[in-house]
Amino acid sequence: MTSTAPAAATPEDLLRGAGLRVTAARVAALRAVGENQHATADAVLGSVRAELGTVSVQAVYDVLHALTDAGLLRRIEPAGHPARYERRTGDNHHHIVCRSCGAIGDVDCTVGHAPCLTPSDDHGFVVETAEVTYWGLCPDCRDQGSGADPTAQP
């Protein structure tokens, strides 16, 4: 049990703390993402259905949206892949994505705080956040050679 936060906050507590109604779908979705970081909406749908029985596709999208807006989840969208959700919020960490199987790893930006985060020429834009995505090969795909093997998934 990781007790990084003050005590092991239950999904229910997290929801209430964020001023959201506590519903079965939200609790299940929160738990699903907690157990499977970087889960896709589809994966969450699967987990939630396995736990609750019938849940509509829309409900899961609604829930993921609500939780993301409330700051309980963070959504990441690697180019060419469906969106994924994670529970690590607040810290602006980055991600490394496997070109072959799409697996994702977290990357803490320890190189100072924001090295790249101030563009040299911002074209008059007001910069709010900077997002770094690393692309490469995960250990599994690296070992298997470079086969386009869509059967691998963590």
Partner DNA sequence: CGGCTCAACTGGAATGATTCCAGTTTAGGG
Partner DNA sequence: CCCTAAACTGGAATCATTCCAGTTGAGCCG
- Interface residues with DNA (CB under 7 A) are 16, 20-26, 40-42, 54-59, 61-63, 65-66, 77, 82-83
Between CA 123 and CA 22 the distance in angstroms is 44
Q: How far is the CB of 70 from DNA (least distance, A)?
A: 9
Q: Which residue from 63, 64, 62 is spatially nearest to 76, judged by alpha carbons?
A: 64
**Which one among 116, 144, 147, 149 touches its own copies, defined by CB under 8 A?**
116
- Which backbone phi and psi does 40 adopt, to 5 degrees? -80, 165
The region of 26-34, 41-49, 55-63, 126-134 touching its own copies under the rule CB under 8 A is 126-134
Residue 49 and residue 55 in contact, taking contact as beta carbons nearer than 8 Å: yes
13 binds, among DNA, its own copies, none (CB under 5 to 8 A by kind): none
4 counts as binding its own copies under rule CB under 8 A: no
Q: Which residues contact 130 (CB under 8 A, 6 or more apart)?
A: 92, 114, 116, 117
List interacting residues with its own copies (CB under 8 A): 76-77, 79-80, 83, 94, 96, 98-99, 105-112, 115-139, 142
